[in-house]
Structure 1
Amino acid sequence: MAEAPAAWDFDSWLRDTLVALSTDDEVFSPYIKGILEGDENTEEKLEALQGILAEITVDVDERLAKIMEEQAACVVTARTHSQEHHNLKSAILAQYAEVSDGECTESDEEGAAAGAVAPRNTNAEEVVRAEREKREKDKEESQRKREKDKEDRAKQKAKDEERKEKEKKRTQKGERRR
């Protein structure tokens, strides 16, 4: 009975090891167990197992080499660009270069001197303005809600007072009848 768990552990270890080596564990596992359980002496078993393991590792090494060759073939070659493409790219980058408000660059001064006006980037200003408007809107809504809640509390308090007053009158009326 004590051998069953040990055999099961060996079987699962052998299966996991063969799977990790990317081999067919259903073929090699019974073959290796057959060698280990055979009648041969230890030296013959060791030699047979070394032969199998050498074959498995050579197969794995061959697969790895093949995969590496395929990956090397997939390497993208560097693109070459013409001088015209490079100049166009530089012009576009220069056009959209960031300049903070109130700051002038040499190209801006040259453009202003030549009479050319570059379009001003107003994205940041629009975002700030939109955020400010949203905060103000939220603030107004919050103020309206507070006022409405205050009015509702006042109405509820008046309603409670009226209800208490009616109850008081009804109680007094009942006492007078007695």
Structure 2
Amino acid sequence: MAAAVCDFEPWLNDKLKSLKTDEGVFGSYISGILESEDSIDDKRDALEGLLSEFVERDISTHVTEILEKWESSRPLEEVPKGAADVDIQLTKILESQSLATTTRREYTDEEKKIREAILSQYSQLSDNEADQENVEEPESSDLVKNTNALDVAAAARERREQARQDAQRKKEKDKEDREKQKQLKEDKKEKRKTQKGERKR
């Protein structure tokens, strides 16, 4: 950073003097913007906003000039560290992947024969299994059919049926309760009417 400051600061001070502004105040602001870890676009926007305070024309030209001078005066290892690190890591990853995909193992004749024998054996097994699935096997006392899925489905059906019946019962009970409450209201009304009628006599 020292090299950048040595080259850039005197140039920036001269630039700000030529723009007839206080290099002491605005120079530190501009350096702060440039040293931040913002993107180039964000830096450009910030510099344009700052320069618009004291420059009336060619603001974008001045901003471009400042950014170019800043970039050229920075030491090479300082050029965006984050981006350089990401590029290096990405390159390493891509190299390792390309190595993994390009290195292809060559089999000896004996290994090829073994491999083919295994593959053919597996293909025969899968053909036989497919044939056996189509043929119903007689039940053997040694083998027990796995009925887990059927049991779970049956239990779920039973629970749904039970829940449906419970809901139906509750619906009927609620209906009965409403009828009873309605009847009680009617009875109370009748009772009041008869009591009023008796009082009037």
TM-score (norm: length of structure 2): 0.43
Q: With CA pairs under 8 Å and 6+ residues apart, which has the higher RCO, 1 or 2?
A: 2
TM-score (norm: length of structure 1): 0.47
